[in-house]
Amino acid sequence: MGNKRSKKDRKKRKIETKKNLSIEKQLKFEQNQEDIELKMLLLGTGDSGKSTFVKQMKICYSGGFSTSEKNLYTCVIQINCLNYTKELLRSMNVLDLNLSKEKAEDKKIFFKLIQTSPRKISPKIADSIKSLWEDPSMKECFKHRNKFQLPASTGYFLDKIHQIADKNYKPNKTDILNCRIPTTGVKELSIEIQGYTWKLVDVGGQRSERRKWVHHFDDVDLLIFVIALDGYSQKLFENNNINRMHESLEVFDQITNNDYFKKKDLVILFNKIDIFQQKIAKVPIKNTFPEYKGQDNYEEGKEFFKQKFLNSIKKSNKRSISTYFTCGTETNTMKSVFENMRKTLIQKYINSIF
């Protein structure tokens, strides 16, 4: 009987101690919670989708875009549309595609008008762009955009050229997410969620920008490497002889096996799945990766690239690696990816202080 009671007491005492310990832990945690800043560094080659990820976080957690930011995007979208039209016309020459007689006249009008308005789309410029964009040869040229530096969003913007030219035009969320501004230097976004500050550090991914990366390597809590899956059939913007996916693999190898990062947690975003899905049936992976033995379908293709990247990581049991297949312009997807990363990092942080 006595033995039974002492067993019961011991059990009770054990529960009490556990309770006290967890209260202590909670207090310690709450004391530490002030000023917790966790740094996420986004790396990846140019045009992979790093800044788009940051834009999404701004939309989800930081009130979206200010009027002055929207005004900046309006200017950039207009300049981009002028450049896309010029690039399409230039590429048509390369492909030996000809405009109809009537459209050839619009081409002359377009080039004449942009002499006096090189950065802004007047209604007349919009008329000429619309007419050119309706030409079947120009559409045919757009189908071959992989051979040139024409982003997939070219069609999205040229389809709404009159809206963009309107003096009251304000870009909406989709316009901003699709608008391309190559990053130079570093851009940071700090967002506060439930007592934590998340510092997202976004750098430029083009070759000339990469030498600046090293300045941001300190105190990184999470490395996010972004890869554009559609890059397997594209050439670098900076050098038209180099395949984008080959470049991405090389940069990934250098970064993930670098002394700064070989023990850091890593998230890999295989981005632009929407474009990859459309492309895979038309452009065989074998063209640029002769070792590929799978079918040209989305599932096999994406796994091939995932393994290729994962295989280049030198093993380290200190690091956790997560992978996601993403469409950077889809807000809900990117929010849930971020939420997963956020929860994992918080858990790791809590474990590290107890």
Ligand X SMILES: Nc1nc2c(ncn2[C@@H]2O[C@H](COP(=O)(O)OP(=O)(O)OP(=O)(O)O)[C@@H](O)[C@H]2O)c(=O)[nH]1
Closer of 50 and 272 to Mg ion (Cβ): 50
- C-beta closer to ligand X: residue 292 or 328: 328
Strand partners, 193: 196
Q: Exactly one of 171, 231, 301, 328 binds ligand X (CB under 6 A); which one?
A: 328
Report which of 339, 334, 348, 18 is spatially closest to residue 177, judged by C-alpha positions: 334
Residue 128 interface partner, choices Mg ion, ligand X, none, CB cut-off 5-8 Å depending on type: none
Q: Which is nearer to ligand X, 103 or 235 (CB)?
A: 235
Amino acid letter for position 49: G
| 51 near Mg ion, judged by CB under 5 A | yes
- Rank residues 128 and 153 by Cβ distance to ligand X and give the closer one: 153
In DSSP terms, which residues pair with 268 in a beta bridge? 225, 323
Q: Are 247 and 277 in contact (CB under 8 A)?
A: no
Closest CA to 119 of 165, 155, 71, 82: 82
Question: What does residue 275 show for φ and ψ, rounded to 5 degrees?
Answer: -70, -40
* Cβ-defined contacts of 133-139 (< 8 Å, 24+): 133/85, 133/158, 133/159, 133/161, 135/99, 135/100, 135/103, 137/92, 137/97, 137/98, 137/99, 137/100, 137/103, 138/88, 138/89, 138/92, 138/97, 138/99, 138/103
Cα–Cα distance for residue pair 169/272, rounded to 1 Å: 27
Residue 171 sits in the site that holds ligand X (CB under 6 A): no
Q: Which is nearer to Mg ion, 133 or 225 (CB)?
A: 225
Contacts with Mg ion, 172-211, as mask; x by CB under 5 A: -----------x----------------------------
Nearest to ligand X of 199, 348 (CB atom): 199
Q: Which one of ligand X, Mg ion, none interacts with residue 206, CB within 5 to 8 A by kind?
A: ligand X
Cβ atoms within 10 Å, residue 147: 14
Member of 128, 131, 178, 234 binding ligand X (CB under 6 A): 178
Judged by CB under 6 A, the residue of 271, 301, 341, 342 near ligand X is 271
Q: DSSP secondary-structure letter at 315?
A: P
Residue numbers 8-37 binding ligand X by CB under 6 A: none
At what angle are helices 136-143 and 67-95 packed, to 10 degrees?
A: 100
Nearer to Mg ion, 51 or 80 (CB): 51
Burial of residue 171, with CB atoms counted within 10 A of its CB: 0-12 exposed, 13-18 middle, 19 or more buried? buried
Q: Are strands 196-203 and 36-43 parallel, antiparallel or unpaired?
A: parallel
Please report how close the Cβ of residue 333 comes to ligand X at its closest, in angstroms. 9
- Identify which of residues 51 and 131 has a Cβ nearer to ligand X in the complex: 51
Q: Could you say whether residue 128 binds ligand X (CB under 6 A)?
A: no
CB of 342 to Mg ion, least distance (A): 21
Q: Give me the residue label for tokens 């051979």.
A: 147
Q: How far is the CB of 320 from ligand X (least distance, A)?
A: 23
What is the per-residue binding string for ligand X in 227-266, x denoting contact by CB under 6 A? ----------------------------------------
Residues that bind ligand X (CB under 6 A): 44, 46-52, 151-153, 177-178, 180, 182-183, 204-206, 226, 271-272, 274-275, 327-329
Residues that bind Mg ion (CB under 5 A): 50-51, 183
